[in-house]
Amino acid sequence: MKIKLWIPIGILLVAIIAGAFIYTYPHHLTFTMQGIMYQLGEENKDYVKPVAVSVNGKMKKSILGVRTFTGVIDIEGEDIPVPSENRKLELRFSENGEAQLLYRYIINGNIKHFSYGIIFINDDSNKIAIMKYQATPNGRGWNGGDGYMISTPAQNRDEALEISNELLDDFYTRFTLK
């Protein structure tokens, strides 16, 4: 009688362990998507530039659902002042879906960093929005009124705005990008 009780419990435990393994197993991401870089604001609606965003790395989830990307993200035509051998990122996405595109590296014993912006990637990793930082008098930052965005996949500004608003919905709850 006791053996009959342990069999379903054992099967349940194996199923839970297998499910946890599958849930947390890293997924390889290697793709390039065509998108649009654009400037926010009605007065800037003519600023539209096609870009390609290439992703090469692994995305994994913790048991608690925290997503972590480890790898390289390249944006066509963007001059990122970080040596190519130091471009590997480790991005931890918040519960709102965003992560800092922050490059950390060491040159001649000195710790350096460069922050490109904030990236949003949906759970299926098939949509990306990036809030691109610009130089300001106080360093680097972003402005929701006239800041720069990159969205993929998109063929025009309207599609790019739709993707950005969808991905930033939890982050920017009181504001719609225009």
Nearest to 96 by CA among 162, 152, 153, 169: 169
Give domain status of residue 133, yes or no: yes
Q: Which domain holds residue 31?
A: 26-167
pTM above threshold 0.75: yes
One pLDDT digit (tens) per residue for the chain, 178 residues: 566 777 777 778 878 777 776 767 788 999 999 999 999 988 998 999 999 999 999 999 888 889 999 999 999 999 899 998 999 999 999 988 899 999 999 888 899 999 999 999 998 899 999 999 988 777 788 887 888 999 999 999 999 999 999 998 866 655 667 7
Question: What total number of domains does the chain contain?
Answer: 1
Q: What is the reported pLDDT for 49?
A: 96
Would 105 be classed as within a structural domain? yes
**pLDDT by residue (tens digit) across 80-124?**
999 989 999 999 999 888 999 999 998 888 999 999 999 999 988
Residue 13 lies in a domain: no
What does the longest C-alpha to C-alpha distance in the chain come to? 77
